[in-house]
Amino acid sequence: MAAEQKQIKNTLTKLLGLVVVMFVFAIWIMPPLYDLICEVAGLNGKTQGQYVSAVEAEVDNSRWVNVQFVAINNEGMPWEFQPNEFSIKVHPGAATVTHFVAKNPTDRIMVGQAVPSMVPSNATNYFHKTECFCFNKQTLGPGEEAELGLRFIVDQDLPKAVKTITLSYSLFDVTDMSSSEVESKAKELQALQTNELSILTEFVPDESRNNNVHVANRMQPLI
């Protein structure tokens, strides 16, 4: 009997171990593993992070690739968000610079995060971004407009069948998750405001009152 109980305990321990392993697998292994597979295989069209290469790329002048840009606003994101141009023809290997335009029409500081996606997904590993606004959160003050830069190189090894690459950015409102960005922006704006004010008071003291109102208006639209 005692031997049997020991065996049962043994089985129980092993199986509980398996349960723990599978739970850990689900939460701590699967998500990073998924990200890794996505990155290696270019799965799901998720583009990679910043591209750094020691070797200067060679430009393939014999071939044109059409690169398209798409801007998408997620729900509850009131920014005006557009690519500067819908499509550019590029040679593989040539570094190209373009930008998106974003404007925050609201009366508060907002933080946006652009999430990239690429069609076709098998082009993902051949599209290198050396600079991109999607690497970081973007903070815009009330009414502020910004040009969001993007610099990329299409790899010379891009499969021949791919003639069009579409890069889309979905813009998400992440203000709620970004209190530090909002704070630093608020400080920046305040500094700007006091700075302007001090300049104004110094040079045109007579009109300081009016100007004061003017600045306040611009910074905090009466909405």
Partner 1 sequence: MAHGPAKGITRWFFTTNHKDIGTMYLWFSFAMFLLGGSFALVIRMELFQPGLQIVEPNFFNQMTTMHGLIMVFGAVMPAFVGLANWMIPMMIGAPDMALPRMNNWSFWILPFAFALLVSTFFMEGGAPNFGWTFYAPLSTTYAPDTVTFFIFGVHIMGASSIMGAINIVATILNLRAPGMTLMKMPLFVWTWLITAYLLIAVMPVLAGVVTMMLMDIHFGTSFFDAAGGGDPVLFQHVFWFFGHPEVYIMILPAFGIVSAIIPTFARKPLFGYSSMVYATASIAFLSFIVWAHHMFTVGMPLFGELVFMYATMLIAIPTGVKVFNWVTTMWQGAMTFETPMLFSIAFVILFTIGGFSGLMLAIAPVDFQYHDTYFVVAHFHYVLVPGAIFSITAAVYYWLPKWSGKMYDESLGQVHFWLAFIGLNVTFFPMHFSGLAGMPRRIPDYNPLWADWNMISSIGAFLFGAAQILFLYIVIRTIVSGKKATDRVWEGSHGLEWTVPSPAPYHTFTTPPPKEDMQSY
Partner 2 sequence: MLITCKRSLALLFATSLMLLPAIGFADGWQLNMTEGVTSISKEVYGLHMTVFYLCCVIGVFVFGAMFISMFLHRKSRGVTASNFHESITLELLWTIVPAVILIVIAIPSTTLLKKVYDTDEAEIDILVTGHQWKWQYEYLGEDVSFFSILSTPASQINNEEEKGEHYLLEVDKPLVIPVDTKVRFLVTAGDVIHSWWVPDLAVKRDAIPGYTNAAWTRVEVEGVYRGQCAELCGKDHGFMPIEVHVVSKAKYAEWIGAKKAEVVAIAEASKKVLELDELMATGEEVYNKNCAACHQADGKGLPPAFPAIAGSAIAMGELSGHLNRVINGGKGMPPFGEQLTPVEAAAVITFQRNSFGNNMGQLVQPIDVVTFKQGQ
Point out which residues bind partner 1 (CB under 8 A).
4, 7-8, 11-12, 15-16, 18-23, 25-27, 30-31, 34-35, 41-46, 74, 113, 115, 121-122, 170, 172-174, 177
From the list partner 1, partner 2, none, pick the one residue 15 interacts with, judged by a Cβ distance below 5 to 8 Å according to partner type: partner 1
Per CB under 8 A, 156 contacts partner 2:
no
Annotate the chain with three-state secondary structure. CHHHHHHHHHHHHHHHHHHHHHHHHHHHHHHHHHHHHHHHHCHHHCCCCCCCCCCCCCCCCCCCEEEEEEEEECCCCCCEEEECCCEEEECCCCEEEEEEEEECCCCCCEEEEEEEEEECHHHHHHEEEEEEHHHCCEEECCCCEEEEEEEEEECCCCCCCCCEEEEEEEEEECHHHCHHHHHHHHHHHHHHHHHHHHHHHHHCHHHHHHHHHHHHHHHCCCC
Of positions 48, 84, 96, 106, contacts partner 2 by CB under 8 A: 106
Per CB under 8 A, 137 contacts partner 2:
no
Strands 95-103 and 80-83: antiparallel
Name the residue nearer to partner 2 (CB basis): 82 or 96. 82
Per CB under 8 A, 45 contacts partner 2:
yes
Residue 145 CB, nearest distance to partner 2 (Å)? Answer: 11
Name the residue nearer to partner 2 (CB basis): 81 or 128. 81
Residue 172 CB, nearest distance to partner 2 (Å)? Answer: 7
Per CB under 8 A, 143 contacts partner 2:
yes
Residues from 179 through 218 that contact partner 2 (CB under 8 A): none
> Footprint of partner 2 on this chain (CB under 8 A)?
44-45, 68, 70, 72-78, 86-87, 105-107, 115, 117-120, 143, 161-164, 166, 168, 170, 172, 221-223
